[in-house]
Structure 1
């Protein structure tokens, strides 16, 4: 009997390395955990005075930031609140945040909100270290969406030219994370559900992202099961804190902290989202609603055997039967993602965001990093995101 080599049977190539991010001390989770977890995390990092970094809507339209302020004031650790962080973290807000941090005499940041405040806080601390020297100051993240920016060592922000750029450092991962579902009740439904689709995007693209180890992919399978189960339930029962808490845990599983040498987009769906988001003012959760299902459908035709096997495996966790064909299994997963977007009321198209059709080749080229492989397939994918085909 002949035995296949690893090269002939790529699914047997199970080798790699896993390490925890150096800076992350811990994740506290549970409804009402803010008041008990924040002092513990501050003690772990030796933080004495915090600057809260958040967005205007969360600051002005909810009492979430006020609750964090009160928790810090109780320990005489409140240094101020900076809320000039816009969507996609514009560089102007980051520069102003650096000034606010210095003026407050702060030694750490407490980021409250979605991916923009968390990423902006990373950029603020990174640039402060570049300008002032010394050790990188620390961040505690309190997310109110499901975007999962708090689990990465990189940060994306929008530069002066309006382009999304990134920076990366192992020390940039927040030192502490608090998942208190009660603080998410004020998050607008469309933002909450669309960032849930962002978490779906993370879980799916981690199934074919290079260097992701099998145990992490198993977490992604469970994340997909929970996201497909609880996102529709959360839409139907928006005040159910227990469902929201399960979704926060699913978001965590979708982008479990890993030590990777380079910070980059997880895959094509994320790369397209980065190029569409800041340039055309499309929220990242919505870009995932637009690009993920078509990307998976493309993978059914172009992905490696290994990647197709991992994608096909998701059907079992979604309680869906296989088709008997890897290609058809992957296409079925794409259909399920598309149906979830529809069921959540998140369907949109590029016409709605006034993305010029003449920009399609440029967007494809930027998303592919200048590589020519799959260029025409990606152009066709983007053309399919308009109201009518080109």
Structure 2
């Protein structure tokens, strides 16, 4: 008999299938917001690019832009965005881009309302349990499949150490998310497919978690089913907007377990260690590590893995091989050495991974450093 307690994730508006401009205009009206800051990265801010189009849709409501946000959400960018939000009368911020952009903006909002003055002062929020709620309203227009806009935490890189720290608040997720497949058409293939594999990793590790909840199981299974098919459709026909929207909806569903407290496992935990030591993106860490973690875990959850493989259209095939086949189909790295990791770095990666709560939550316990090195050596 199942025993549990369900608490719905943060209240959030998700608009899907509408043009971003149409949805954005309506959401600003819903929020009674008349002044907004537009935040994006360098590639989307090029002349005539997507940021210019969104700024034009905002019209006079766009009172300031912050461009040039870096990958992996460094603290310096968080402070830069927080400073922009301090302008008088700002009622909303629009985050345009992938996970790094929205994570930066999420953290900037909590910095603003808690009077964080500089990058070092962010340390205070890591320890605080009484942080004030983030403001202003956050509207996210994602261009990748990272799903960072749905979570109540932000991963921010401390430039002093290279480590990504997690900042939590129950209201940290975006207030509104606009899923416009047209906004993803300029996303480079490698980024689109690697973040798609990251979303699959969310779904797989939620489904395979030893801690289960009906809501998490249902959304993870649906996400895996959608993503496995829709990603391949976008590979065959990049302009298929219906398939791109299915990918976006699949990414949305993939992370729902995490929003109610279901922990991911060793693929995510090792991925965080790899990012800290080597700078590898989380999408690529999922491409490489998820098949190896699934093989390691098969001793304790092969039955659960088989259900996912069938849902993804490959009944009878080991789930690790289903994922590996998708990685190969999309032309992504499948070995750590192919992603630039040196063998002498594995020891430091193992130490960082073993400290991760997600490794500790893995379906099959990783007994110690020798077992962790075995997983990493197989992936190298």
TM-score interval, normalised by the smaller of the two chains: 0.7 to 0.9
Contact 2:85 2:112 in 1 (8 A): no
Quickly say closer, same or farther: Cα 1:21–1:294, change in 2 above 3 A.
same
Residue 378 of structure 1 and its aligned partner are, at CA, apart by 1.9
Post-superposition Cα deviations, 1:324-366, rounded to whole Å, max 9, x if no partner, equal xxxxx7xx10111111100111124323444332332332222
Residue 104 of structure 1 and its aligned partner are, at CA, apart by 6.9
Q: Which residue of 2 aligns with 1:312?
A: 306
- Using the size of structure 2 for normalisation, the TM-score is 0.87
> What secondary structure, in the 3-state scheme, does the structure 2 residue paired with 1:346 have?
coil
Q: Which residue of 1 aligns with 2:5?
A: 17
Contact 2:96 2:143 in 1 (8 A): yes
- Structure 2 Cα separation of the partners of residues 257 and 175 of structure 1: 18
Q: Aligned pair 1:188/2:188, yes or no?
A: yes
Q: Aligned pair 1:254/2:240, yes or no?
A: no
Q: Which residue of 2 aligns with 1:215?
A: 215
Post-superposition Cα deviations, 1:191-213, rounded to whole Å, max 9, x if no partner, equal 11111101110110111335441
- Structure 1 Cα separation of the partners of residues 263 and 33 of structure 2: 31
Say which of 343, 346, 358 aligns to 2:332: 346
Alignment of 1:115-130 (within 5 A): 115-130=99-114
Give the number of equivalent residue pairs. 356
Post-superposition Cα deviations, 1:52-86, rounded to whole Å, max 9, x if no partner, equal 1111112127621112111211xx32121112311
Say which of 35, 46, 49 aligns to 2:32: 46
Q: Which moved more, 1:174-183 or 1:35-44?
A: 35-44
- Structure 2 Cα separation of the partners of residues 343 and 179 of structure 1: 25
Post-superposition Cα deviations, 1:251-293, rounded to whole Å, max 9, x if no partner, equal 11111276546xx962111111122124422222111101111
Quickly say closer, same or farther: Cα 1:339–1:104, change in 2 above 3 A.
farther
Q: Which residue of 2 aligns with 1:280?
A: 278
Contact 1:216 1:256 in 2 (8 A): yes
Unaligned runs of 5+ in 1: 1-11, 323-328
Residue 316 of structure 1 and its aligned partner are, at CA, apart by 2.6
Q: Which moved more, 1:108-117 or 1:55-64?
A: 55-64
> What secondary structure, in the 3-state scheme, does the structure 1 residue paired with 2:73 have?
coil
Residue 93 of structure 1 and its aligned partner are, at CA, apart by 1.2
Q: Please report the RMSD computed on the Cα atoms of aligned residues, expressed in angstroms.
A: 2.3
Contact 2:95 2:139 in 1 (8 A): yes
Larger Rg: 1
Alignment of 1:330-341 (within 5 A): 332-341=318-327
Residue 367 of structure 1 and its aligned partner are, at CA, apart by 1.5
Contact 1:62 1:186 in 2 (8 A): no
- Structure 1 Cα separation of the partners of residues 200 and 169 of structure 2: 25
- Using the size of structure 1 for normalisation, the TM-score is 0.85
Q: Which residue of 2 aligns with 1:153?
A: 152
Quickly say closer, same or farther: Cα 1:223–1:62, change in 2 above 3 A.
farther
Alignment of 1:1-390 (within 5 A): 12=1, 14-24=2-12, 26-32=13-19, 34-60=20-46, 63-73=49-59, 76-103=60-87, 105-131=89-115, 135-137=133-135, 138-160=137-159, 161-209=161-209, 211-256=211-256, 259-260=259-260, 266-301=264-299, 303=300, 307-322=301-316, 332-369=318-355, 373-386=367-380
Unaligned runs of 5+ in 2: 117-130, 361-365
- Structure 1 Cα separation of the partners of residues 252 and 55 of structure 2: 25
- Structure 2 Cα separation of the partners of residues 29 and 72 of structure 1: 19
